[in-house]
Amino acid sequence: MIKILTFRNNVVEILKSTEEVSSVIGKKGTYVWVDIQKPSDTDIRFLEKHFLFHPLAIEDCMSTIQRPKIDRYERYLFVVLHAAHIGTHRNKATAHELDTFVGENYVVTVHTNPIPSVSMTWERCLRNAQIMSRGTGYLFYYLTDALVDNYFPIIEKLDKEIEKCEDSVFKNPDSNVPNKIFFLKENVMILRRNIGPQREITNFIARGGYEPIIPNNLSVYFRDVADLLARISDSLDLYRDTLTTAMDGYMSSTS
């Protein structure tokens, strides 16, 4: 499903037809955000026709097992980020991939699963034209910041579960404790695998050198995102060590 948002003449509006894209791409003072969820073959042909993305970038976009990364092409950046998600079944952590093309006057986001930070940013852009008025580099920052912010409720939930697990180890250990520890450790590892590369990406961007797509005056914003990711990474390292200590404590108390 394709949705298209434009900023032109100081107004944000939704385009009703995908064919209108060709008339606004590259137009001075106009910025375009194309969001595609569950991309079909028709959607991919749309990207190839209107944006002329490199076949390798399109191939990466269609794959759902990409590691977070940033690739620079002549006219745009291709960035893979992972949104954190806690499933309803057993509270298992998963990563939902967000593929983003960033050009001088467009952003294209592609994702298989619904991503709350994308939906939230879309709605905020509709309510506040200033977000898109600052250009596509800023819109990409805004999307990245929202995606990272959505890690914090998951981290807080994980913190509470680990605290409960610790209490059960030292106050009322039972045979289910090891399984709980292994499960929580797995969630921590899944999140850590995503945070590390994304921290590298935001640090790369914060150093500059991606002009004119991402102006250097946005470096301070990406540094802030990198700092948030560093905080999350530190928390996850602490959780990993805490769970290791909890398992050692359980083994000691039952031996």
Rounded-to-integer distance, Cα 172 and Cα 72, Å: 54
What is the side-by-side strand order in the sheet with 31-37?
A: 11-14, 2-8, 31-37, 106-111, 93-103, 76-86, 69-72
- The first and second tokens of residue 181, run together, are 């520890």
What's the CATH number where 199 sits?
A: 3.30.460.20
Q: What is the pLDDT along the chain (255 residues), one digit of tens a residue?
A: 899 999 999 999 999 888 888 888 888 889 999 999 999 999 999 999 999 999 999 999 888 767 899 999 999 999 999 999 887 667 788 899 999 999 999 999 999 999 999 999 999 999 999 999 999 999 999 999 999 999 999 999 999 999 988 888 877 777 788 888 999 999 999 999 999 999 999 999 999 999 999 999 999 999 999 999 999 999 999 999 999 988 888 787 776
Q: How do 106-111 and 31-37 pair as beta strands?
A: parallel
Predicted TM-score (pTM) of this structure: 0.93
What is the rounded end-to-end Cα distance, in angstroms, of the chain? 57
Which residue in 93, 99, 106, 35 sits closest to 67, CA to CA?
99
Q: Please give the residue range of the domain that contains residue 85.
A: 2-254
Rounded CA-CA distance 39/98 in Å is: 12
- HEC string of 74-110 equals CCEEEEEEEEEEECCCCCCEEEEEEEEEEECCEEEEE
Rounded Cα gap, residues 80 and 68, in angstroms: 5
Domain tally, the chain = 1
Separation between Cα atoms, residue 71 and residue 93, nearest integer Å: 27
Q: How many helices (H) does the chain have, and how many strands (E)?
A: 9, 7
C-alpha to C-alpha distance for 139 and 106, rounded to whole angstroms? 9
